[in-house]
Amino acid sequence: MNFFERQAAARRTSTRLIVLFSLAVIGIVLAVDLAMFVVFGGGAGGLALTTLVTLAIIGFGSLYRIASLRGGGEPVALQFGGVPVPESATDTKLRRLRNVVEEIAIASGVPVPKIYVLEHEAGINAFAAGYSPSDAVIAVTRGALEQLNRDELQGVIAHEFSHVLNGDMRLNIRLIGVLFGILMLGLIGRKILQHGGGSRGRGAGAVLIAALVALAVGYIGLFFGRMIKAGVSRTRESLADASAVQFTRQTSGLAGALKKIAASEGGSALSQRGDAEEVSHMLFGDGVGFSGLFATHPPLLQRIQALEPSFRADDLEQLRRRYRATPPSASDETPTGRTAAERHPSIPNPIPIPAIVLPAAAAQLNLTPPMVAAQVAQPSPDDYRRADSIAASIPDDLRELAKQRDAVIPLLLGLLLDTEPQVKAKQRTEIQARLGADAATAADRLKVERLDPLHPMLRLPLAAVAFPVLRLRPRPELDAFMDTVHAVVNTDGRVSLFEYCLGRLLEVQVRESLDPSRYARFGRRKTGNVKQEFATLLSVVAQAGHEDAAAAQRAYLAGMQRVLPRDHVPYAPPSEGVLALDAAWEPLDALDPLAKQVMVEAITAAVSHDGRVTVAEAELLRTICGALHCPLPPMLERS
């Protein structure tokens, strides 16, 4: 499945989750009614009251837990005692973790997520949490840092990024909130027994019986909850393993991590068992120890054999004996016990693949609409190598500015400034009015001295690296930043399409990071419901890429033929230029996932109609797709 098919599958799974939750609620209500009727008797009125109380407890429990997770992935990481990894970490293992996460984020075309370490967890595990890539958190255990080498850590992080990209992360965090409700009765019964079990007096017996009934019914809720998590999670974990291998194009890293979990004494177990059960469906490895019907992950041996079919149970036992003698460590580069030459029998002395050189800014790319659509959220090994080259190519002083709280806002605003002096002067006025003269001067200086000469392929990655630091600013400052971005890109219709779209992308990411749950959704609109929005977007794109009006019209028609082949919507470039897109973004972003695939193909057809796609045009395509939650990797033309 590609990105759009997996998004559609995630939406269907969300629907199935609602059905399963409803069935679980019905089962719990019937169990409570039956228990209360047997113990206390009563007529229809009493049963109706019991039903309403039960539904209220379940509903309020779910709403409470969902509300507690409104902040996205960060509350989940903090629940486990997660410690944020600073941007300027000096510890070698933390630096390695941040480098791997940044490279995979750049290769995926999404902002760098927040990174947490669960310092008190010695097992090998990790999870991704959040509603969207803009508020995503990647958390790994200290055990993973201490025991996994770089390839293995890369495989684990790539696995978690597949959850970020495919909609699993959003589904998983909602699953926590929904299932909490059906566990509420058991929690209430347990608390009553703990704090009121020794009470005396009138009604004490009835309260005790009610608590026992609630506790018994709570186990029914626990059963349903575990079954739902297992049913939702197992298949998606297998898909995440496959995506991680597709991404890194080497099975040894991910397989090595799984082998260390299977063979080491601590495995993937988490010490906070109660919390671990709540998030068991989110973890890289089983953190609780469930098996059979309740297992949220396929068996470890099965996962390993999917990556290395020749691996057998005897090999696993041999590894266990080895790790009992010498526990695994991050310096262990050959977890299977084989030498590097044995892992690569066709290469006597394997050497690192050289980094890919960035293409010239004026280079022409060969792109086709289906090829680009197939690459959405599907990074390849070339993308990972390109991400490494891109990260290394960002000038050191700009990377340093991207890590500084006071410098990140002028840096991002500098990316939005126009090259036309008159337009830039108006933009400076807008910045000064909202953020002060110092911010306007700093943004202008960075634009002239450092950002104008920057390679086009480095602008989006620089913004991605800067985004985690931007999110650390207080909300009032972020609100002012978003207001400034909107004013800068809407100065007048002469702002370039790339600058306008980059501004939109920044607005989307900041908005989603501030209120994650509000903007998390799977779209449902069909292409026929957004005809005028398609026409506006394709008109603006075609006009921006072609100076000749006739050529622009042909490019527009090529795009419309992809998305609305049976409709005739005439080419009519909006008089307000790029600002006409303000009304088009939200309807287009609300498209059904499979309709978005057609939309990406249509935009690509318009951009590439003249047979010439420059690096700058490819970056514009990536920016538009990013603003519409269809992240593209940095290398659109595969090598």
State how far the Cα of 423 lies from the Cα of 408, in Å rounded to an integer: 22
Measured over the CA atoms of residue 78, residue 513, residue 96 and residue 264, the dihedral's sign is positive
Instruction: Give me the domain span that covers residue 616.
Output: 364-388+522-627
Do residues 140 and 165 share a domain?
A: yes
Instruction: Tell me whether residue 265 is one of the annotated catalytic residues.
Output: no
Token pair 């509350």 is at which residue?
75
Show which of 467, 486, 519 is a domain's final residue.
Answer: 519
- Helix, strand or coil for residue 117? strand
Q: Say which DSSP state 191 is in.
A: H
Structure tokens at 163: 């959850």
Token pair 């005692």 is at which residue?
81
Token pair 């509300």 is at which residue?
67
State how far the Cα of 351 lies from the Cα of 347, in Å rounded to an integer: 9
Residue 6 lies in a domain: yes
- Residue 340 amino acid letter: A
- Residue 175 amino acid letter: L
- Residue 314 amino acid letter: D
Contact 131, 98 (CB under 8 A): no
State how far the Cα of 55 lies from the Cα of 475, in Å rounded to an integer: 37
Helical spans, DSSP H, in 515-548: 531-545
Residue 637 lies in a domain: no
pLDDT of res. 341: 34
Q: Count each helix (H run) and each strand (E run) in the chain, helices first.
A: 28, 6
State how far the Cα of 353 lies from the Cα of 250, in Å rounded to an integer: 13
Structure tokens at 107: 């290769």
Residues 153-210 have pLDDT tens digits of: 988 998 888 888 877 777 788 788 888 888 887 777 777 776 665 555 555 667 777 7
Do residues 315 and 451 share a domain?
A: no
Do residues 94 and 168 share a domain?
A: yes
Do residues 451 and 403 share a domain?
A: yes
State how far the Cα of 175 lies from the Cα of 7, in Å rounded to an integer: 16
Residue 623 lies in a domain: yes
Q: What is the CA radius of gyration of the chain?
A: 27
Do residues 243 and 368 share a domain?
A: no
Residue 356 lies in a domain: no
pLDDT of res. 338: 38
Do residues 464 and 558 share a domain?
A: no
Structure tokens at 414: 């500098």
Helix, strand, coil fractions of the chain, as percent rounded to 5: 65, 5, 30
Structure tokens at 236: 């998606």
Give the H or E element holding residue 212. Answer: helix 204-248
Give the H or E element holding residue 163. Answer: helix 150-166
Catalytic position from the list 87, 121, 160, 278: 160
Do residues 500 and 403 share a domain?
A: yes
Residues 69-86 have pLDDT tens digits of: 888 888 888 888 899 998
CA 257-263-267 angle, 5° bins: 70
User: Assign residue 314 a region: left if phi > 0, alpha if psi is -120 to 50, beta otherwise?
Assistant: alpha
State how far the Cα of 204 lies from the Cα of 197, in Å rounded to an integer: 9
User: Assign residue 246 a region: left if phi > 0, alpha if psi is -120 to 50, beta otherwise?
Assistant: alpha
Mean pLDDT by 10 residues, the chain (639 residues): 69 74 85 80 77 88 84 85 88 92 89 93 91 90 93 90 80 81 79 64 67 78 79 73 67 88 88 75 82 80 87 90 85 46 36 59 81 81 76 90 92 92 93 95 94 90 91 91 92 81 90 80 82 93 87 93 90 88 91 89 90 84 89 74
Residue 341 lies in a domain: no
Say how far residue 637 (Cα) sits from the centre of its chain: 24
Do residues 456 and 477 share a domain?
A: yes
- Residue 282 amino acid letter: M
Residue 157 lies in a domain: yes
pLDDT of res. 57: 87
Show which of 334, 354, 372 is a domain's final residue.
Answer: 334
Residue 63 lies in a domain: yes
Do residues 502 and 515 share a domain?
A: yes
Q: What percent of the chain has pLDDT over 90?
A: 27
Q: Say which DSSP state 114 is in.
A: E
Contact 384, 393 (CB under 8 A): no
pLDDT of res. 353: 45
Contact 250, 268 (CB under 8 A): no
- Residue 248 amino acid letter: T
For 221-252, b/e burial (b = at least 16 CB within 10 A) is: bbebbbebbbbbbeebbebbbbbbbebbebbb
Contact 372, 2 (CB under 8 A): no
Show which of 486, 519, 552 is a domain's final residue.
Answer: 519
Residue 567 lies in a domain: yes
pLDDT of res. 199: 55
Which DSSP string do the residues of 447-465 spell out, in sequence order? IIIIITTS-GGGHHHHHHH
Exposed/middle/buried for residue 82 (C-beta within 10 Å: 0-12, 13-18, 19+): buried
pTM of the model: 0.82
State how far the Cα of 358 lies from the Cα of 386, in Å rounded to an integer: 8
Structure tokens at 350: 């394997």
- Residue 398 amino acid letter: L
State how far the Cα of 620 lies from the Cα of 599, in Å rounded to an integer: 15
Do residues 308 and 439 share a domain?
A: no
Do residues 496 and 579 share a domain?
A: no
pLDDT of res. 335: 43
Q: Say which DSSP state 262 is in.
A: H
Phi, then psi, of 637 in degrees rounded to 5: -105, 110
Helix 497-514 / helix 531-545 crossing angle, nearest 10 deg: 130
Q: Side by side, which strands form the sheet with 137-141? A: 83-84, 114-118, 137-141, 126-129
- CA atoms within 13 Å, Cβ hemisphere of 495: 28
Do residues 370 and 461 share a domain?
A: no
pLDDT of res. 130: 87
Number of domains in the chain: 3
